Structure 1
Amino acid sequence: MIRVYLEDEQAELDLHLGSLVGAYRATPHENTGQSANMLTTGQAVRLPADLIFGQPDDKEGMVDSAEAHALKLLEKTRRAH
């Protein structure tokens, strides 16, 4: 991923590292089918395209309280691992 992104700009790696890491964390892994963001936080990160084009309605992902969120995150983590 890094080689393709920085094909002619390798001297400026430090300027693009944040974008690369964000893209890597948001990309589903081949083996797990889940992104690093999903495995660590239990939710996908909203990308600029999501803000522009919107996201599908996902009422299933909504929680009522911090405790409910923690329990849901724990269950997702158990399933993922």
Structure 2
Amino acid sequence: MRLNLACELVSSNFHVVFNVANIIGSPLATASHHLRTLKKLNLVKYRKEGKLVFYSLVDEHVRQLIQLASTHSQELMTVGK
């Protein structure tokens, strides 16, 4: 779930929590929990605009790591078939 969420952040610079929940198909509370966990791990950052909270990846290094992990995960699924 968190890899899917991080991959979604790779494809776009900023996401609002409710958009992330819709994209990954989870309740708002679940998406928010996963984003907080990623923030505690210093993988994502956030900024507030009024009541909206926008999340993004911390930097380009994290973006590259997530892309690599996603590619590796897809390769493992292909080999396992």
TM-score above 0.5, yes or no: no
**Structure index of larger Rg:** 1
- Structure number having the greater strand percentage: 2
What's the TM-score, normalizing by structure 1?
Answer: 0.30
Instruction: Report the TM-score when normalising by structure 2.
Output: 0.30
